[in-house]
Amino acid sequence: MILLETIKRVAEKATGWRRPDKPQGLVREGKPQTFRFKDDGLIPNHPRWPLIIYKGAVRLTPDLDPAAVFEELFDSHGWGRSWRDGIFDYAHYHSRIHEALGIARGSGQVRFGGANGRVLNLKAGDVAILPAGTGHQRIKSSADFLVVGAYPASGAYDECKSEQDRKKAIPSIDRVAQPRQDPVYGKDGPLMQAWPPRRKRRS
């Protein structure tokens, strides 16, 4: 499936076929769901910022490729380096970058926050935005489950899952800067209030 999606993506970008001109017009207004997770000894999670879930945030129409809709939407708000795939079936997190996950097709159950976290049902049109350090793991999904991932301009991708990774990850997580925009709603989106910048210490 991933090879086919890669071929489709290349063809769509070259021709513009089934890609939206104005992806913001496909966004629905709604209130975010937020979830905070404690450090469980293996998965650190973020010490200040919550996981954000937008349910049914993006309207997907038959005339457009749903993966392309998320790619264009995320990119329009400065979240790039996008990919099309699923979600790993083991618990992992990123210590040096935040991540947006748009559900393009199908549905799945994803555990966020590590072993003591929450299993959430995600389906096409939903978006999950993970601050650095947030554990995530696919528990089960439909056969057609397809996710588009993207990252803000600042930060570097890494994948952490072990005790050895954790030791290096802890100092990095809280230093990852607030994104310049919400990947779905832009510069005035709910993320900007849910993830406030860390206050500078007075000298």
The domain that holds 39 is classified in CATH as 2.60.120.10
Angle, vertex CA 176, rays to CA 153 and CA 93, nearest 5: 95
Cross-sheet strand order for the sheet of 136-141: 118-123, 107-112, 136-141
Q: Is the pLDDT of residue 104 over 60?
A: yes
Q: Is the pLDDT of residue 105 over 60?
A: yes
Structural domain contains residue 195: no
Which residues, including other chains, have CB under 8 Å from residue 20's CB and lie 6 or more apart?
Answer: 26, 64, 68, 69, 72, 73
Q: Is the pLDDT of residue 11 over 90?
A: no
Distance from C-alpha of 185 to C-alpha of 192, rounded to nearest angstrom? 10
Structural domain contains residue 196: no
Structural domain contains residue 170: yes
* Residue whose entry in the numeric block shows the structure tokens 């264009």: 72
Element (H, E) at 8: helix 2-15
pLDDT at 200: 67
Mean pLDDT of 38-62: 97
- Domain with 176, as residue range(s), is 2-187
pLDDT at 168: 93
The tokens of 166 are what?
A: 């954790």
Mean pLDDT of 121-138: 98
Structural domain contains residue 167: yes
What radius of gyration do the chain's Cα atoms show? 16
pLDDT at 180: 97
Question: What is the pLDDT of the chain when averaged over all its residues?
Answer: 94
pLDDT at 79: 98
Structural domain contains residue 179: yes
Structural domains counted in the chain: 1
Mean pLDDT of 6-25: 80
The tokens of 119 are what?
A: 């299993």
Q: Is the pLDDT of residue 31 over 90?
A: yes
Cβ atoms of 84 and 67 within 8 Å: the answer is yes
Structural domain contains residue 117: yes
Q: How confident is the model at residue 37 (pLDDT cuts 50, 70, 90)?
A: very high
The 10s digit of each residue's pLDDT in 56-92 is 999 999 999 999 999 999 999 999 999 999 999 999 9
Structural domain contains residue 57: yes
